[in-house]
Amino acid sequence: MMQMLILGLFVGCATQQQTEPNIVEPVVEPAEPEAPIEIVEPSTAPEIAGDDVGEGQLYPEMEPVYRNKKRMSVAQIWASMVRVSGGVEWKVGNNFMWEKYSSTLGVPDYQQSVTEDLSPSIMFQKFLDDAAVHTCKHWVDSEYDGEQRLFFSQIEPGEFDSDKILLNIIALREQIHGRKMDVDDPIIASFVELHQLVMQRTSNLKSAWETVCVGFFTHPDFYIY
């Protein structure tokens, strides 16, 4: 009996030793010493230059506002060409051509449309060129045959003088475009060259003046404002 009790105690102690977990103590590493804090001395403030940089504007300059340029209406171009040429009409038989082609050029009829198309379209350019050719031919012919001197204000018809040709082109620029220009203006030089080119190719002074006239009427400075 005594032996069985001792054996039971021995077995119980052995079982308890097997079930209890092994506890591992954590290893604490020694902390490294902190680095000394470096104290930075404040640097010297930079000096402010005392140079005079001039004056400036508080607000930027406002750019001028430009309006969009417009083409004259058919009625305005018609009236202008008649007035400038001294009464020459673009007319074939009893038909006033500006009136005949008004609907094609976008003039309102106040039934189908109420506003006029004022774009410088290809169709407009074509009719303007036709009107200019007709007007210039009759205008130059009338002054070759008559006494009126609106076109030839600085030179006589049929007269060939380079200085007077230049002055007459300047006068035509003012009469047709309403702009005074000096002798050195590039547009004047271009019309002088046009006159010379036609003379070289045709040897016809009247044709040279008619071509210059057409050039002035078909230039944007005539129909754009």
Is 206 part of any domain? yes
Is 55 part of any domain? no
Residues 6 or more apart from 120 whose CB is under 8 A from it? 71, 220, 223, 224
Query: When comparing pLDDT for 12 and 72, which is higher?
Result: 72
According to the model, what pLDDT value does residue 154 have?
Answer: 96
Range of the domain at 127: 74-223
Is 121 part of any domain? yes
Q: Give the mean model confidence (pLDDT) for residues 101-113.
A: 86
The model's pLDDT over 151-190, given as tens digits with 9 standing for 90+, comes to 999 999 999 999 999 999 999 999 999 988 777 889 999 9
Is 180 part of any domain? yes
178 Rama class: left (phi>0) / alpha (psi -120 to 50) / beta: left
Is 44 part of any domain? no
Query: Collapsing DSSP states into helix, strand and coil, what is residue 34?
Result: coil
Write the DSSP assignment of 7-73 as a string of letters: HHHHHHHHHHHHHSPPPPPPPPPPPPPPPPPPPPPPPPPPPPP--------SSPPPPPPPPPP-BPP
Q: Give the mean model confidence (pLDDT) for residues 61-89.
A: 84
The model's pLDDT over 203-215, given as tens digits with 9 standing for 90+, comes to 999 999 999 999 9
Least confident range of 116-120, 185-189, 219-223: 116-120
At 221, is the pLDDT very low, low, confident or very high (cuts 50, 70, 90)?
very high
Q: Give the mean model confidence (pLDDT) for residues 101-115.
A: 86
Least confident range of 92-106, 132-146, 149-163, 176-190: 176-190
Is 13 part of any domain? no
Q: Is the per-residue pLDDT at 73 higher than 60?
A: yes
Q: Give the mean model confidence (pLDDT) for residues 81-94.
A: 95
**How far is 175 from 170, CA to CA, in rounded Å?**
9
At 119, is the pLDDT very low, low, confident or very high (cuts 50, 70, 90)?
confident
Average pLDDT of the chain, as a whole number: 82
According to the model, what pLDDT value does residue 106 have?
Answer: 86
According to the model, what pLDDT value does residue 19 have?
Answer: 47
According to the model, what pLDDT value does residue 175 have?
Answer: 94
Is 117 part of any domain? yes
The model's pLDDT over 2-52, given as tens digits with 9 standing for 90+, comes to 555 455 545 454 454 444 555 555 555 555 555 566 655 656 655 656 566
The structural domain count of the chain equals: 1
Q: Is the per-residue pLDDT at 200 higher than 70?
A: yes
Is 205 part of any domain? yes
DSSP state for residue 147 in the 8-state scheme: S
